[in-house]
Amino acid sequence: MTRLTFYVTTPIYYVNAAPHLGTAYTTVAADVIARYKRLCGFDVHFLTGTDEHGQKVAKSAEEAGLDPKSWADTVVPQFHEAWKLLEVSNDDFIRTTDERHEKGAAAFMQRVYDSGHIRKDHYEGWYCIHDETFFTEEQVGPDRVCPDCSRPVQLLKEENYFFKLSAFAEPLLEHIRTHPAFVQPEIRKNEVVSFIEMGLKDLSISRPMTSLTWGIPLPFDPDHVMYVWFDALLNYITAIGYGEDERRFDQYWPVDWHLVGKDIIRFHCVIWPAMLMAAGVALPKHVFAHGFLLAKGEKMSKSKGNVLAPADLVARFGADAYRYYFMREVPFGGDGSISIETMVLRYNADLANDYGNLVSRLTNMFEKYLGGVIPANPKMPGDWNTLDGELIKGCESLYADVDSALETLQFSDALKEVWERVRLTNRYVEDSAPWNLAKDPATHGRLKEVLWRAAEAVRIITLFVWPVMPAAAERAWDQLGLTESLGTIPQATGACMDVDEVPDGLRSCALWGKLPEGAKVHKGEALFPRIYEDDSSIS
Ligand code: MSP
């Protein structure tokens, strides 16, 4: 029996710089959806990696006094370390210098050549090394600067191979029309459509060895290397066996989500699908372009000197709180301002006060009043318009609400739904006042009922906390005396794994009533110790 698959990717990052908050943002988002889908029971494949060819990387290597491959070898471990630190659970990491990639990319190129979509021509125009993008005279204007990053561009006069991109304008528009969810969010779709409607020009897809040697040689003319973007985009298929392992390729392709930043939407929603059409390969199901993280109102970038290092923030707040902050604070798709001040506020309000405090006061009361043992599952309330009824209804609808927000990658909305239930449970505890019920033996029955229900609510909530904050959720889970690991829930429940059926693991686990009688609750250390305002070890 095979399980339904779910394939998600991040862009592959240039190795000219160490990972930063921008690249970490996409990677954490991809990790959250990958973990969520695993929890549901999908066979998930989560890919990230590095983009190592091209002039930009060659230049950084030269500045460092190394050959490009040795330079990349020094930077790649920094990506592995950063992703480990941020609890990123990628299934694969592709480097464009991997043999599997170079072979698959050459096979793809040959296929596009054989199908008549490549021609040789003379190229005269402008090139931005920073963006690895060709521009026309008009686009660079009299100042000869890149219209995207404002850096000076260089003039190229070369014999190049061209991809007949112009032939794909109509098929692309047709695809977008018939697949309204292909480009998301809507604003980016409109941008892509108007870009195509303005007319597509054929695209230079090679550089002669005389001007650049750091790339994959064209299989049909080894005196030229592949244009770095053509090479890089192919990672999404070479990593899963394109041209090598058809069974594996068919298992995961077409990809469910390509996650990218809004600056690289045209490469992913115009050039990439046209390349795939030319080679007769199915198109991605969805591409989602997120916005930029802004620090002090500006896009973070090395040149602006406002780049925050993920490791510094993790040292201060922990990886879980880091992940929570970026997923909750910035609605996915828009630009978002971030700052240490708002990070401290969110940490204290949502994590220390709301969720952390709920877990700690509850486990404390279990130890104090019930000897740390989960009592029997109380009967469902007869009247639903009660505190108990409200709590149960609220928790039972959580799966549907989170799932529908994550259907379009609205992480912030999904977390709002989860935190609504955290607050509901806090109110339930507050209004039921177990500390008063404990005073009188006559109300001990009610005490057990209240604590059982509050713990059951926390169990359900914690399932949905896990994709965003895996370590904290595992700890809360453990404090509730739940033994099976959260990450293996769908397997453990043996929930629906049939082909073509949406897996049922999380939905069934999130149903009310599964908290096991007799489990041993214990109070552990605070999940999120409060951070005091005057503690300015980072600013
Ligand atoms: N190598 C190409 C991608 C090839 S994919 C086939 C590339 N690499 S990159 O390292 O420059 O950037 C990767 C991603 O980081 C982009 O999606 C970009 O949008 C994102 N970010 C870089 N700075 C950012 C912010 N300040 N905020 C959010 N994301 C931004 O492009």
> What residue's CA is closest to ligand 1, atom 21?
22
Measure the N-to-C terminal CA separation of the chain; round to a whole number of Å: 53
Q: What mean pLDDT is reported for the chain?
A: 93
pLDDT score at 504: 79
Residue 425 forms part of a structural domain: yes
pLDDT 10s digits, 420-469: 999 999 999 999 999 999 999 999 999 999 999 999 999 999 999 999 99
The 3-state secondary structure of 16-82, one letter per residue: CCCCCHHHHHHHHHHHHHHHHHHHHCCEEEEEEEEECCCHHHHHHHHHCCCCHHHHHHHHHHHHHHH
> What residue's CA is closest to ligand 1, atom 6?
233
Report the number of distinct structural domains present in the chain. 1
Q: Which of 127-136, 214-223, 366-375, 522-531 has the lowest mean pLDDT?
A: 127-136
With H, G, I as helix, E, B as strand and everything else as coil, classify residue 537: coil
pLDDT at residue 357 greater than cutoff 80: yes
pLDDT at residue 33 greater than cutoff 70: yes
pLDDT at residue 349 greater than cutoff 90: yes
Residue 149 forms part of a structural domain: no
pLDDT 10s digits, 205-222: 999 999 899 999 999 999
pLDDT score at 455: 98
pTM more than 0.75: yes
With a Cβ cut-off of 6 Å, ligand 1 is lined by 11-14, 22-23, 25-26, 51, 232-233, 235, 260-261, 263-264, 292-293, 299-300
pLDDT at residue 537 greater than cutoff 50: no
Residue 253 forms part of a structural domain: no
pLDDT score at 301: 64
Percent of the chain with pLDDT over 70: 94
Of 307 and 223, more confident = 223
pLDDT 10s digits, 290-320: 999 998 777 666 666 666 789 999 999 999 9
| Distance (Å) from CA 269 to ligand 1 centroid | 15
| Distance (Å) from CA 13 to ligand 1 centroid | 7
Quick one: average pLDDT of 58-80? 96
Tell me how many helices (H) and strands (E) the chain has. Answer: 24, 16
Question: Rounded to whole angstroms, how far apart are CA atoms 472 and 477?
Answer: 9
For residue 233, the ligand 1 atom closest to its alpha carbon is: 6
pLDDT score at 539: 42
pLDDT score at 403: 97
Residue 93 forms part of a structural domain: no
| Distance (Å) from CA 519 to ligand 1 centroid | 46
Alpha helices in 272-410 (DSSP H): 272-279, 310-317, 319-329, 340-346, 357-370, 387-396, 398-407
**How far apart, in Å, are the Cα atoms of 72 and each of 21, 64, 262, 410?**
20, 11, 25, 34
pLDDT score at 508: 87
SS3 percent helix, strand, coil of the chain, rounded to 5, is 50, 15, 35
pLDDT 10s digits, 407-419: 999 999 999 999 9
Residue 64 forms part of a structural domain: no
Read off φ and ψ for residue 4, nearest 5 degrees. -65, 135
What is the domain range of residue 427?
A: 317-538
Question: Rounded to whole angstroms, how far apart are CA atoms 353 and 334?
Answer: 28
pLDDT at residue 534 greater than cutoff 90: no
pLDDT 10s digits, 464-506: 999 999 999 999 999 999 987 787 766 545 444 444 566 778 8
DSSP 4: P
Residue 490 forms part of a structural domain: yes
Q: Which of 13, 326, 337 to mutate to test the pocket of ligand 1 (most atoms within 8 A of CB)?
A: 13
For residue 268, the ligand 1 atom closest to its alpha carbon is: 6
Q: How many CA atoms lie within 13 A of 458 on its CB side?
A: 33
CATH classification at residue 522: 1.10.730.10
Residue 148 forms part of a structural domain: no
| Distance (Å) from CA 10 to ligand 1 centroid | 9
Query: Nearest-CA neighbor of 287 among 128, 135, 172?
Result: 172
> What residue's CA is closest to ligand 1, atom 2?
13
Q: Which of 16, 234, 260 to mutate to test the pocket of ligand 1 (most atoms within 8 A of CB)?
A: 260
| Distance (Å) from CA 197 to ligand 1 centroid | 25
For residue 262, the ligand 1 atom closest to its alpha carbon is: 19
> What residue's CA is closest to ligand 1, atom 25?
22
Query: Nearest-CA neighbor of 360 among 518, 475, 524, 520?
Result: 524
| Distance (Å) from CA 501 to ligand 1 centroid | 35
With H, G, I as helix, E, B as strand and everything else as coil, classify residue 372: coil
Residue 71 forms part of a structural domain: no
pLDDT score at 304: 66
Tokens of 370: 């019930």
| Distance (Å) from CA 262 to ligand 1 centroid | 9
> What residue's CA is closest to ligand 1, atom 16?
261
